[in-house]
Amino acid sequence: MYAIEVERLTKIYGKGETAVTAIADATFQVTPGELVAILGPSGSGKTTLLTAIGLINEPTRGKLVIDGTAVADGGWLPGLDLKRLRREKLGFIFQAHNLIPFLSARENVMIALEINHLTRTEARNRADELLSALNLGHRLDNYPSALSGGEAQRVAIARALANKPSVILADEPTAALDTENGKNVMALLKELAVENNSAILVVTHDHRMVEGFDRIFHVSDGRIAGEETNGVQHAGTAPALQG
Ligand SMILES: Nc1ncnc2c1ncn2[C@@H]1O[C@H](COP(=O)(O)OP(=O)(O)OP(=O)(O)O)[C@@H](O)[C@H]1O
Ligand SMILES: [Mg+2]
């Protein structure tokens, strides 16, 4: 089974003469454990693609299946609880870490777990375990303002991973970091993709950041104009790309 299946996915903003086709007929599949970069210039449609897959931006046309659940076929399918799907299947990491400023590192991760009905003690244990695994065991009680950019981004990663989502979506997660911290965050994402068997989609416009990714999609004017595969072959994936 695929973690993400996208078939002729299209997003058009607006109508008539001012309509903008932000994504046109994107077709691809991503397997669990695969780390995929979406590379392209500003305005090429990267965020639109990510937010459509993230169930926060309704596609205009095309099909979308997340972790075996059909979610869109010419717009959202009726009868879906999108919020719940988002909570249970997806993890988001943004350019700015989006941590809650008045909660500690630990509490920022706990909140994601408590939303999914873990008890406070369970949430606390899992938050501490995750943060320690990301080398933040000594920063549990720090507020975001007392964390470095790289540390804050790792807390955001811990939060995105908290519920073991099958799909992790990251939009320019290293944009606010220096090269070294950026590379560390990318290496970490790669490790986690394999370890948790999560599909990870990372948007970036910095090609230096995507070393070691399994695949790279090049987006141009809303189309997936090309694809590179970096070594690792995944059984049963012959990605059908149209663009
Ligand atoms: N809410 C919106 N309403 C109308 N047009 C939009 C909207 N969001 C994005 N667009 C347009 O869709 C196109 C793709 O935008 P998108 O934000 O997906 O690009 P991007 O590749 O993420 O760019 P960047 O690298 O600058 O973040 C652009 O032409 C943009 O102006
Ligand atoms: Mg963007």
* CA-angle at 39, arms to 38 and 45, nearest 5°: 75
What are the φ and ψ backbone dihedral angles of 12, each rounded to 5 degrees?
A: -115, 120
**Nearest to 228, CA basis, from 240, 218, 242, 220:** 218
Cβ-contact 243, 227 below 8 angstroms: no
* CA-angle at 218, arms to 215 and 222, nearest 5°: 130
**Nearest to 137, CA basis, from 95, 160, 109:** 109
Alpha helices in 94-148 (DSSP H): 105-115, 120-133
Q: List ligand 1's pocket residues with C-beta within 6 A.
A: 13-14, 20, 22, 40, 42-48, 205
Q: What is the pLDDT of residue 238?
A: 43
Give how far the C-alpha of residue 188 lies from the chain's centroid of Cα atoms, to the nearest Å.
Answer: 14
- Which among 48, 174, 205 is the best mutation to test ligand 1's pocket, defined by most ligand atoms within 8 Å of the CB? 48
**Nearest to 130, CA basis, from 115, 117, 112:** 112
For the chain, 243 residues long, give each residue's pLDDT as a single digit of tens.
999 999 999 999 999 999 999 999 999 999 999 999 999 999 999 999 999 999 999 999 999 999 999 999 999 999 999 999 998 999 999 887 789 999 999 999 999 999 888 999 999 999 999 899 888 999 999 999 999 988 998 999 999 988 889 999 999 988 888 888 888 888 888 888 888 899 999 998 888 888 888 999 999 999 999 888 875 443 334 444 443
Cβ-contact 173, 161 below 8 angstroms: no
Three-state secondary-structure class, residue 181: helix
Q: Record the pTM.
A: 0.89
Structure-token pair, residue 243: 């663009």
Strand bridging mode 69-73 / 215-220: unpaired
CATH 3.40.50.300 fits 4-229, yes or no: yes
| Ligand 1: centre distance to CA 242 (Å) | 20
